[in-house]
């Protein structure tokens, strides 16, 4: 029988931001997950199903994602602000310094920036779909997205899916299309601002002192990822003191949404422990 867990929901109000979070409490070791750009906590549903009975899993939405809100201008949320938000989430959720942070795409950038600033705040980084810079395919996609009429939500979704969502199941593609059709104006503006920022960033090593990272770091790369080059992933690994690369065969950039099998590699990194003592109930 799978151990049960309790779901806890909360909201953080910090500065000009509102940040919703969830904790799946099982009494196990701590995991904190960071979404990719314009994703939400929902992207981790398969991961939560697998790990929440054994680990204490915390999720949250950055401002401009899901129900996360930016209360005042500018709509752009800087990397430093995102690191500050992550720090507030860790305090609010009671995530301890033995935690593993799992980041997807841009979430991985925030994670390494946090790990470089707060060197003793976590034990392990597990980062998927990230490198040090945007490759030509990503730059082309961002330019196409920025050039698309903001009212043509279907075109925006098509650009994203055609560029690096080819491996997604059809039901996930439909969710992405619906997400763009229902996106609020402030979320759309934040999406454009983030794309412009990615284009302006040459290498994350120019923004983050990667040599400061103490946490054991694993970079996970999808074999069919079209916007992150494997050579760049290996270069990133060479800049972080204790780092290794794992490749998921057949996976693309959105590996966390491509099916539960994509999480098999995590089994090697974050093994399922024996169930903790005590009785827990799902809410």
The pLDDT mean for the chain works out to: 86
Give me the mean pLDDT over the 2-14 stretch: 91
- H or E element at residue 24: strand 17-25
R_g of the chain computed on alpha carbons: 18
Q: Which residues contact 86 (CB under 8 A, 6 or more apart)?
A: 34, 110, 111, 114
How does strand 100-104 pair with strand 124-128? Answer: parallel
139-170 pLDDT, tens per residue?
787 777 777 887 888 888 787 777 777 777 78
90-124 pLDDT, tens per residue?
999 999 999 999 999 899 999 999 999 999 999 99
pLDDT category at 201 given cuts 50, 70, 90 is low
Residue 259 has pLDDT above 80, yes or no: no
Tell me how far CA of residue 117 lies from CA of 86, 111, 213, 234, in angstroms: 12, 10, 8, 22
Residue burial 14-44, b: 16+ Cβ < 10 Å; e: rest: beebbbbbbbbbbebbbbbbbbbbbbbbebb
43, 106, 41, 38: which is closest to 257 by C-alpha?
A: 43
Per-residue DSSP letters for 175-241? HHHHHHHH--HHHHHHHHHHHHHHHH-S-GGGTS-GGG--SEEEEEEETT-SSS-HHHHHHHHHHSS
Tell me how far CA of residue 206 lies from CA of 82, 140, 210, 231, in angstroms: 17, 22, 9, 18
273, 220, 248, 270: which is closest to 100 by C-alpha?
A: 270
Q: Where are the beta strands (DSSP E) in 76-206?
A: 100-104, 124-128
Query: Which pLDDT does position 277 carry in this prediction?
Result: 57
Residue 232, Ramachandran bin (φ over 0: left; ψ between -120 and 50: alpha; else beta): alpha
Domains of the chain, with CATH numbers?
A: 6-140+204-269 (3.40.50.1820)
Which of 111-115, 122-126, 132-136, 201-205 has the least mean pLDDT? 201-205
**Cβ-contact 17, 68 below 8 angstroms:** yes
71-98 pLDDT, tens per residue?
998 888 999 999 999 999 999 999 999 9
52-67 pLDDT, tens per residue?
999 999 999 999 888 9
């Amino acid at each position: 029988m799978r151990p049960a867990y309790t779901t806890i929901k909360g909201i953080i109000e910090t500065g000009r931001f509102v940040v919703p979070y969830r904790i799946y409490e099982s009494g196990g070791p701590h995991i904190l997950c960071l979404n990719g750009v314009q994703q939400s906590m929902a992207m981790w549903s398969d991961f939560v199903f697998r790990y929440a009975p054994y680990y204490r899993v915390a999720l949250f939405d950055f401002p401009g994602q899901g129900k996360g809100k930016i209360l005042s201008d500018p709509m752009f949320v800087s990397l430093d602000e995102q690191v500050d938000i992550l720090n507030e989430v860790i305090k609010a959720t009671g995530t301890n310094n033995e935690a593993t942070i799992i980041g997807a795409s841009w979430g991985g950038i925030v994670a390494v920036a946090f790990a470089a600033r707060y060197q003793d705040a976590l034990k392990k980084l597990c980062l998927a779909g990230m490198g040090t810079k945007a490759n030509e395919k990503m730059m082309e996609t961002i330019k196409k997205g920025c050039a698309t009429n903001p009212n043509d939500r279907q075109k925006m979704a098509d650009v994203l899916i055609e560029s690096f969502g080819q491996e997604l199941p059809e039901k996930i593609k439909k969710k992405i299309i619906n997400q763009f059709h229902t996106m609020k104006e402030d979320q759309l503006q934040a999406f454009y601002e983030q794309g412009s920022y990615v284009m302006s960033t040459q290498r994350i090593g120019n923004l983050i002192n990667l040599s400061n990272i103490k946490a054991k770091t694993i970079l996970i790369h999808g074999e069919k990822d079209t916007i992150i080059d494997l050579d760049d992933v290996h270069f990133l690994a060479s800049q972080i003191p204790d780092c290794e690369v794992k490749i998921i065969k057949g996976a693309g950039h959105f590996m966390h949404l491509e099916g539960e099998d994509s999480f098999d590699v995590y089994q090697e990194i974050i093994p399922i422990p024996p169930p903790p003592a005590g009785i827990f109930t799902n809410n």
